[in-house]
């Protein structure tokens, strides 16, 4: 006996990935329904070797369905998630709407799988921000060994984090560089993204940080440990898919780089590729389509007493969004719903 699953936002980048990953990981389903807005009604999407036609989310009856994976943005989620939850369907939400609600678990299964057991308060589980998800996967096993005091992270985030419009803007602006008669002014981003980097993701806050940077701090504390101090600089780069992060970690006790490398090699969800030679590391292009969070450039930081530097790369549409949501569904099923 499998699960009856709904994917809301099935025509978007993340929704399509959710369907792909449900099929790839052979999540036990009796029925899968693809939902979209009315303007996308009837659009065909792939689920394994099947083709699904999208149904209208407006007025959809969620009763009788076990799990709904939401990838529809905060505004639409605010309207439809409470409806689905009230009808007995557990919502796993990819938007930022519920991440900071103390009654709603924020889950990365490699880090805090036990948190899914708190889903019953509102029948909703939150999926973290894409840049946070890969970071805490890397931090968790090291924190268990030497206890993290402080993290300094600089992100190099791909345009797919801004949706299809971000990917289209990079593509069109890149073409325009080679065809100077065509001008493509910034719309999705604040400056031209082609052949450029933009140190600005989401809105600015009063203290000068951006909301993306604040998210990484707040979510790391909620998922991993509220005592960890974290400061972030989040940067958009002209890469289609795959987020990269340069991470500096200060521990309460000394951790040797070789031991850190061994710990990460044994940790769930992580692939270590760390050779001190040309090409002995992973770039974002190489991580696309993969489940793993890749760790490279592991080395001691001699400028502080107990410091390690590392490079962390992951497919943001997968571990940063769709994969993590499906892993939450798997964890929820194994720990709580127990079907399949």
Tokens of 93: 């939400």
Q: Per the annotation, does 37 bind a ligand?
A: no
Q: Per the annotation, does 13 bind a ligand?
A: yes
pLDDT mean over 107-122: 98
Q: Rounded to whole angstroms, how far apart are CA atoms 102 and 293?
A: 27
pLDDT mean over 113-141: 98
Q: Rounded to whole angstroms, how far apart are CA atoms 239 and 340?
A: 38
Q: Rounded to whole angstroms, how far apart are CA atoms 76 and 229?
A: 33
The model's pLDDT over 224-246, given as tens digits with 9 standing for 90+, comes to 999 999 999 999 999 999 999 99
Tokens of 66: 């076990």
Q: Does pTM surpass 0.85?
A: yes
The model's pLDDT over 58-80, given as tens digits with 9 standing for 90+, comes to 999 999 999 999 999 999 999 99
Determine the 3-state secondary structure of 235 from DSSP.
strand
CA distances from 336 to 51, 118, 319, 326, 327 (A): 30, 10, 22, 15, 14
Confidence of residue 252 (pLDDT cuts 50, 70, 90): very high
Helices 257-266 and 130-146 cross at an angle (nearest 10°) of: 120
DSSP 89: P
pLDDT at 304 over 70: yes
User: Among positive and negative, which fits the CA dihedral 20, 26, 27, 29?
Assistant: positive
Cα–Cα nearest to 245, from 155, 335, 180: 155
pLDDT at 28 over 80: yes
Arithmetic mean of pLDDT over the chain: 97
Determine the 3-state secondary structure of 80 from DSSP.
helix
Helix (H) or strand (E) holding 287: helix 284-287
Q: Per the annotation, does 261 bind a ligand?
A: no
Q: Per the annotation, does 316 bind a ligand?
A: yes
Active centre residues (catalytic): 130, 243
What number of CA atoms fall less than 13 Å from residue 263's CA on the CB side? 18
For 197, other C-beta atoms within 10 Å of its C-beta total 14
Concatenating the DSSP letter of every residue in 123-145 gives TEEEPPPHHHHHHHHHHHHHHHH
């Amino acid at each position: 006996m499998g699960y009856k699953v709904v994917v809301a936002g099935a025509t978007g980048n993340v929704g399509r990935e959710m369907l792909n990953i449900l099929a790839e990981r052979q999540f036990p389903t009796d029925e899968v329904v693809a939902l979209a807005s009315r303007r996308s009604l009837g659009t065909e999407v792939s689920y394994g070797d099947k083709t699904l036609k999208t149904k209208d989310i407006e007025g959809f009856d969620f009763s009788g369905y076990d799990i709904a994976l939401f990838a529809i943005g905060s505004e639409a989620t605010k309207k439809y998630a409470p409806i689905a939850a009230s009808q007995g369907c557990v919502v796993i939400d990819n938007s930022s709407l519920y991440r900071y609600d103390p009654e709603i678990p924020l889950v990365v299964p490699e880090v805090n799988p036990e948190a899914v057991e708190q889903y019953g308060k509102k029948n909703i589980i939150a999926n973290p921000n894409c840049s946070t998800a890969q970071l805490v996967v890397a931090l968790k096993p090291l924190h268990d060994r030497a206890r993290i005091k402080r993290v300094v992270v600089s992100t190099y985030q791909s345009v797919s984090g801004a949706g299809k419009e971000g990917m289209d803007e990079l593509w069109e602006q890149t073409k325009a560089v080679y065809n100077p008669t065509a001008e493509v002014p910034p719309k999705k981003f604040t400056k031209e993204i082609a052949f450029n980097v933009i140190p600005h993701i989401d809105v600015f806050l009063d203290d000068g940080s951006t909301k993306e940077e604040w998210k990484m701090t707040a979510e790391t504390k909620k998922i991993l440990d509220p005592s960890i101090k974290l400061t972030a600089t989040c940067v958009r780069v002209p890469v289609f898919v795959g987020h990269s992060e340069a991470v500096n970690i200060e521990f309460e006790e000394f951790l040797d780089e070789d031991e850190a490398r061994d710990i990460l090699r044994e940790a769930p969800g992580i692939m270590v590729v760390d050779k001190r030679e040309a090409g002995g590391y992973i770039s974002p292009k190489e991580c696309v389509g993969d489940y793993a969070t890749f760790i490279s450039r592991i080395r001691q930081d001699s400028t502080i007493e107990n410091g390690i530097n590392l490079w962390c790369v992951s497919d943001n549409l997968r571990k940063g969004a769709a994969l993590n949501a499906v892993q939450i569904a798997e964890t929820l099923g194994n720990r709580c719903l127990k079907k399949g």
